[in-house]
Amino acid sequence: MRMKLDKLPIGLYDENVYVLHDNGHVLVVDPGACAKKILSCISKDEVLDGIILTHGHEDHTAACDDLCDLMDCPVYMHEADYVLIDPNGSRHYGYDAPVYHEITWLSEGKMDIGSFPVTVYHTPGHTSGSVCVKYRNLLFSGDTLFASSIGRTDLFSGSEEEMISSLKFLMTLPKDLRVLPGHGPETTIGNEIMKNPYLYYLNVN
C-alpha cells in the first residue's frame, strides 16, 4: 500500500491533525480534538504505531487520551514540554489538557516509531520542547514554522532567541522538503526561504 496522508483541520483553532499511513501502519501527529473522527481515518486492517506530539499545547494534545483509550498505542513527545501536559501541574501554566497516558520521550536524531524510521529535530522557540519530525520527504513542523509565518514566542517557555536559532537550522534542510504545519496550508522549505518574511530576513542578514 502506498503512503497516504490525511489532514484534519479541527478544533477551536483549526489545528491540523495528521494521519500518516504507510504499508498498513499509521502515525497520528498532534491529535488536538475529535478522537473518533481521527479514528475513522484508520482502517481495521491498519496498526496505529504511535502518536507524536510536536509540543504540549492543548490544541495539539486534547484528543490524545481518548485516542489511546480506543487504540492502545504509545505517545511520543519531547521531555521539555511535559510540564504543559502533566496532570499534576499543567493548570499552573494556563493549560487544561493534561495527558494521563505514559509518554515516551522523543530523542533528537534518528529513531524508530513502530515501523516508521523518523528523524526528530528539537526546535525550541514556540515552546521549549517543540520538535519538527521528518519522515521521508515530509516535515511535521508543529507550531514552529507555518506557510508565510512562524509560531508565537510570547507564551510560557517560548523564546524569540531560540526560535531564530531553530529557523536558521530549518533553512538548512532540503528545499523540496514538504512542510506540514500545525495550522494552515502545507508549504516547502524552499518556498518559505523565498516568501516567508521571517526566514527571508534571516537569510539576507
pLDDT in tens, the chain (205 residues): 689 999 999 987 899 999 999 999 999 999 999 999 999 999 999 999 999 999 999 999 999 999 999 999 999 999 999 999 998 875 665 666 789 999 999 999 999 999 999 999 999 999 999 999 999 999 999 999 999 999 999 998 999 999 999 999 999 999 999 999 999 999 999 999 999 999 988 876 6
Tell me, yes or no, if the pTM score tops 0.85: yes
Give the H or E element holding residue 51.
strand 47-52
Residue the block writes with cell 475513522:
40
Instruction: Using alpha carbons, select from 202, 184, 183 the residue that is nearest to residue 54.
Output: 183
- Grid coordinates representing 141 are 513542523
Residue the block writes with cell 496532570:
87
Number of domains in the chain: 1
Residue 204 burial class via C-beta count within 10 angstroms: exposed 0-12, middle 13-18, buried 19 and up: exposed
- The domain in which residue 199 lies consists of 4-204
Which CATH number does the domain housing residue 179 bear? 3.60.15.10
Cβ 78 vs Cβ 122: under 8 Å: yes
